[in-house]
Amino acid sequence: MANPDHLNMLRQGVDAWNAWKKRHAVGPDLFFRADLSAANLSGANLSGVDLSGADLSGADLSGASLLYANLITADLRGVDLSRASLDRAHLFGANLSGSNLSGANLSGADLSGASLSAARLSAAELSGASLVYANLSGADLSGANLTAASLVDTDITNADLSGCRIYGVSAWGLKLSDETRQRNLIIRPDITEEWQITVDNIEVAQFIYLMLNNQKIREVIDTITSKAVLILGRFTDERKAVLDALRDELRKRNYLPILFDFEKSASLTTVETITLLARMARFVIADISDAKSVLQELQAIVPDLPSVPVQPVIIASQEEPGMFDFYRRFPWFLPVHPYDTPAQLLSELSDRVIEPSEAKVLELRATPSAR
């Protein structure tokens, strides 16, 4: 429990407390579980003290020094911490809902699992802070410095991140909403530089920075968009042999083949994955022999991706699906190429599959509406 002598000294006023603290070393159990609700502690020097589990709700801690303070699970609802120094403070699981942290220094602070819903953090210093699993729903972080901060599984629904500095931020599994404001996020490390780059999405920002500063990343993207070919089909033993042969032949022609297994029935995750892969592909080859799942996935690809040619192939002993009458209205859906044997398909691959696909790629890219 809190040391009663220390509490009495604090109640004499911040000036008396600060002078006394300067002269005396205080133990780590100073304010453990203390009731300091609504206390006026503006400008108090509480660096390094143990306030874990303390009730500070409604207190005035504006301009206070709380460097390395232990505030684990403390009740800080509605507290005024504006311009306070909380460098390296331990705030794990603390409740800071509705608190005012405008201009506060929280660099390196541990806010993991803390509740900061509706908190004011405008222009706050949060560089290197841990916000893992923190709740920042409805919080105002406009102009805050989030450089190298950890936002893993962080809730930022309805939060305002406008103008934040986010260089080096780790953003994974963020909980967002349509009302989350992410305008003008600064991704350059030094805000004093003459030019800056801003984006409007914190997750996209990491990718944009890598693209701008990593030649290898740019080469990988160029390779994917210029050489990737998505191959669709069934992965039964007989059909997979055809797909593997297609893949090998495409490799010989300096393409980057990507195979996707549609043996199982389609699901939402499958649709999302296939659509993403198709968007990255130069063109798609779909072996529709015995392939019901592929037909389902073509429904997600063909109508919505006018820049990606789709070349269907089918074993000649089978009839084209009736639904293909619908696909023929799309210029990027090429005529079905029938083949008698895998060997025939490979022998005709250049003339009947690759060349028509490449010709359609060039045609579509020359058409403004397909860009």
Domain spans in the chain, listed from the N-terminal domain onward = 218-370
Residue-wise over 168-206: b if at least 16 C-beta within 10 A, else e?
ebebeebebeeebbbeebbbbeeeeeeeeeebebbeebb
Predicted confidence at residue 174, as pLDDT, reads 94
Q: H or E stretch including 226?
A: helix 215-227
As a whole number of angstroms, the distance between CA 139 and CA 122 comes to 9
Strand segments, DSSP code E, in 181-255 are 185-186, 198-199, 228-233
User: In the Cβ-directed half-sphere of 199, how many Cα atoms lie within 13 Å?
Assistant: 14
As a whole number of angstroms, the distance between CA 204 and CA 182 comes to 11
- Amino acid identity of 204? V
**DSSP 3-state assignment of 17?**
helix
Class assignment of domain 218-370? alpha beta
Predicted confidence at residue 265, as pLDDT, reads 46
180 in Cβ contact with 159 (< 8 Å): yes
Query: Which residue ranges in the chain fall short of pLDDT 70?
Result: 1-2, 25-29, 190-196, 211-218, 220-224, 261-269, 368-371
